[in-house]
Structure 1
Amino acid sequence: MQDLGIRVLFEGNNFARLMGGLGITIQISLLSVLLSIVLGVLFGVFMTLKNPVTRAISRVYLDFIRIMPQLVLLFIVYFGLTRMFGINLSGEVSAVIVFVLWGTAEMGDLVRGALISIPIHQYESSYALGISKKQTYLYIIIPQTLRRLIPLAINLTTRMIKTTSLIVLIGVVEVLKVGQQIIEANRYTAPDAALWIYGTIFFLYFLTCWPISKLAGYLEKKWKN
């Protein structure tokens, strides 16, 4: 009977190594998401300012981040900046920097869209009733903004988790890199192990992102009603 290579998953600590690599992936993703949410909220408010200078700055930053592939940004930060300025950045730190730059731009645009989607008459009606500007934002604008924003922010989280697979190219030992190491170590004894290793990595990503995606869909559907 042909050895399909599934045994490689359970030899030694291979499966535990894959789970450890997944932990690195999730850590980088969650740290990047948390920083992106904080900076993205500030950037989103900055984008709504009715000032030509702030609008030009935010537009240039947003377009640059959206046009530039994340892989190129990873190479610029990890290989370019470190050599140009003599900075010693690990692959993990470089990945967080790039994902925060990307996440801040995406989150900022989501915040901007959520803020400008609030009808202007809600502001005017609130002020006409004698409600202060602070109370208007605290009790009327912010709750509605959060309802629009949270499902989109959760979807951004799943996108960031999946995009972390790129960091294998700058040497970060995350789940994909661990899988490659296991396949390479068994390339002669189990040449068909790649199917099982990459298939397992697929399901690990799926099991990580699927509940998050379902939560976003549930909240979006619930809050639309």
Structure 2
Amino acid sequence: MLFDGHNFLRLLQGLWVTLSIALSAMAISVVLGTLLGIVMTSRNRAVQLLTRLYLEFVRIMPQLVLLFVVYFSLSTSAGINLGGRTAAAIVFVIWGTAEMGDLVRGAIGSIPRHQRDSALALGLTSSQAMRRVILPQTMRRLLPLAMNLTARMVMTTSLVVLIGVVEVLKTGQQIIDANRFTHPDAALWVYGAIFALYFLACWPLSLLSRHLEKKWKN
């Protein structure tokens, strides 16, 4: 049944929708999260409070609720007509930026203080020290963590089916419904195939993350 007609091709197309949402959101989150992480290292109490509130808000608020707020509430209250994929990308950027910002903050904080002090003693400004000394070391520590976050984002995109996005899970449901009478066990095979596709999409990221972690630790 999986290979009848274009069923498996449709699942692959649905997986591409899933990956395109997750990877585009992650690309934006890396840029915004890096900037946020640098800001979060500020000693200004007001800045620390605002960034902490943003981080805690995103962590406490379930992604599904954020999806509903952005997709339904913005459309009705603000008169903004958002497509499902656009709404999903916005929500995952909000979430990814917060998570990435906290990872960057932690990675910067793990760099020994004397690295910055030595850079300043050599005549570099604070921004030059951050750009040329701190951030290169931070990115090396950050890459495995960013890959894990990417895998989490790919898996979490399954929620977008609830706002009508036709990704891999929605496609699977459509195939099951279309073959309900001719293949009563369709759900087992379709969801099994979806599990395998998610696994194949995320497993290489996990392997590469562990490889880089071990390599750079040594």
Q: How does 1:23-42 map to 2 (within 5 A)?
A: 23-42=16-35
What do residues 175-197 of structure 1 show as CA deviations (whole Å, max 9, x unaligned)?
Answer: 00000000011111111010000
Matched letter for residue 194 of structure 2: I
- The secondary structure found in structure 2 opposite 1:188 is coil
RMSD of aligned alpha carbons: 1.1
Q: CA deviation at 1:136?
A: 3.3
Matched letter for residue 195 of structure 1: L
In structure 2, the residue matched to 1:98 is 91
From 92, 107, 127, the equivalent of 1:114 is: 107
Alpha-carbon distance between aligned partners in 1 of 2:131 and 2:159, rounded to the nearest angstrom: 40
From 158, 164, 171, the equivalent of 2:157 is: 164
Matched letter for residue 118 of structure 2: S
In structure 1, the residue matched to 2:8 is 15
Identity %: 62
In structure 1, stretches of 5+ residues that fail to align are 1-7
In structure 2, stretches of 5+ residues that fail to align are none
Alpha-carbon distance between aligned partners in 2 of 1:171 and 1:185, rounded to the nearest angstrom: 18
Runs (4+) of structure 1 moved beyond 4 Å?
none
- The reply on whether 1:132 has 2:124 as its aligned counterpart is yes
TM-score, length-scaled by structure 2: 0.96
* Greater RCO (Cα-Cα under 8 Å, separation 6 or more): 1
Matched letter for residue 132 of structure 1: L
Number of corresponding residues: 217
Q: CA deviation at 1:52?
A: 1.2
Larger Rg computed on CA atoms = 1
Alpha-carbon distance between aligned partners in 1 of 2:130 and 2:172, rounded to the nearest angstrom: 49
In structure 1, the residue matched to 2:195 is 202
Alpha-carbon distance between aligned partners in 2 of 1:114 and 1:57, rounded to the nearest angstrom: 20
Q: CA deviation at 1:137?
A: 3.2
